[in-house]
């Protein structure tokens, strides 16, 4: 697992922060609630940089009862989408965007 972003939560329920990897350096990334969902499977949040939508998020619940956002971030310059989870930090003041590589299944 790697922290690839840090965010703060605004009073309107949106998040503002940055995403940094070896190939991505995005500042002023905003994760905004989606108020006009077409169905229960539609994203609960949109990931924006300026006017460009670069991803979507879904509110999820961990096995421990901890709410978090599961994000899918994509861009034409990416070879594949980035999947990451936005968790609140233990202090509750900031949020960390955590990425981990999907494990490959073996055919044993």
Q: So where are the chain's domains?
A: 2-88
Banded model confidence at residue 105, pLDDT cuts 50, 70, 90: low
77-90 confidence digits (pLDDT tens): 888 899 999 999 88
DSSP symbols for 47-92: EEETTEEEEEEEEEE-TTS-EEEEEEE--TT-SS-EEEEEEE-TTS
6-65 confidence digits (pLDDT tens): 999 999 999 999 999 888 889 999 999 998 898 989 999 999 999 999 999 999 999 998
Q: Quick check: 33 and 24 in contact, CB under 8 A?
A: no
Q: What is the number of alpha carbons within 13 Å of residue 49 lying toward its C-beta?
A: 13
């Amino acid at each position: 697992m790697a922290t690839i972003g840090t965010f703060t939560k605004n009073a309107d329920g949106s998040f503002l922060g940055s995403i940094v990897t070896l190939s991505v350096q995005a500042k002023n990334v905003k994760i905004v609630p989606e108020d006009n969902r077409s169905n229960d499977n539609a994203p609960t949040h949109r990931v924006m940089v300026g006017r460009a939508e670069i991803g979507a998020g879904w509110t999820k619940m961990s096995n421990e009862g901890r709410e978090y956002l599961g994000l899918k971030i994509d861009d034409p310059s990416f070879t594949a989408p980035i999947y990451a989870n936005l968790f609140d930090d233990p202090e509750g003041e900031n949020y960390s965007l955590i990425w981990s590589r999907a494990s490959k299944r073996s055919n044993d």
